[in-house]
Amino acid sequence: MNYQRSSFGIGGGLTPAVKNIVFANAIIFLIKYLNVNLYYYLTANFALHAYDVIYQFKIWQLVTYMFLHGDFWHVFFNMFIFWMFGAELENKWGSKEFLKYYFICGIGAGLVNILLTSKDPGYIGTVGASGAIYGIMMAYALYYPDNLVYVYFLIPIKVKYMVGFLALISFFSTMNAQSDGIAHAAHLGGLIVGYVYLKFGRLRYDLKRLFKSSPKKSRFTYRQGGDDAKLEYYRQKINELLDKINRVGYLNLTQEEKELLEEGSKYLREHEHKDFN
């Protein structure tokens, strides 16, 4: 059976969520060599098939297709790149937020792939985690745009340019009627969903606060006149901002909030351990 493959090739330790996803993909791939019939069963029922999702309501395929891969190099490069970009993001966001983002990108990539390829007569099905991984790369490019990566371990390039180049390839390849066996629509979907989620997460957060019946307000207001009071004020504000970052990400703080976070962190570093008595 031939499946479109979501993959690409480029050149810390394993964080908990990254480790679990890598191990799950590796174990499922090994089934192909341990029990071929079982693997065919998995691809028939858990790979992403537009007909199954739309007409048979097998919506679980929007998640399970991410854990199936076509061959060794497909799963190897996907998991290697997932670790390379994902571990740092998990350390920054925490495992819960990281996993939520990963699956949102993967599911969104699957939906875009169905939307754009379901009428293609050559379309059979889709396997691979690259839609979600493209979303991970988009997040990394937004947070660390000038970090260098080495394409094929040789060519240094800034992450923002690499992701921009991959986005162009995905877009034009998706528009190309000829199929090359790679799920470019899923790649494009992962990039778009990741960007929208990170950029418009603030709007989601603000709407949620707007419709709350009794929004929580800070019980502490800084008043001039006292280093102890100022310390407590900055501690309170930083805790509130860190809580917001956990929900919507640093990129969705306002400029005023980012400045307050930087100002408060600097003040605490300089004054928190001093004796003011």
Separation in Å, CA 124 to CA 39, 195, 244: 16, 28, 42
**All CATH 1.20.1540.10 domain ranges in the chain, comma separated:** 4-199
pTM exceeds 0.75, yes or no: no
Q: Are 221 and 262 in contact (CB under 8 A)?
A: no
CA distance 266 to 264: 5
Which phi and psi angles does 5 have, rounded to 5°?
-110, 130
pLDDT digits (tens, 9 = 90+) for 76-96: 999 999 999 999 899 888 888
CATH architecture, domain 4-199 = Up-down Bundle (1.20)
CA distance 275 to 277: 6
Does residue 245 have a pLDDT over 80? no
Check residue 135 and give its pLDDT.
Answer: 95
Q: Please provide the distance, in angstroms rounded to a whole number, between the alpha carbons at the two ends of the chain.
A: 76
pLDDT digits (tens, 9 = 90+) for 146-185: 888 887 777 888 999 999 999 998 888 887 755 666 788 8
pLDDT digits (tens, 9 = 90+) for 187-216: 999 999 999 998 876 556 555 556 654 444
CA distance 106 to 136: 10
CA distance 173 to 99: 28
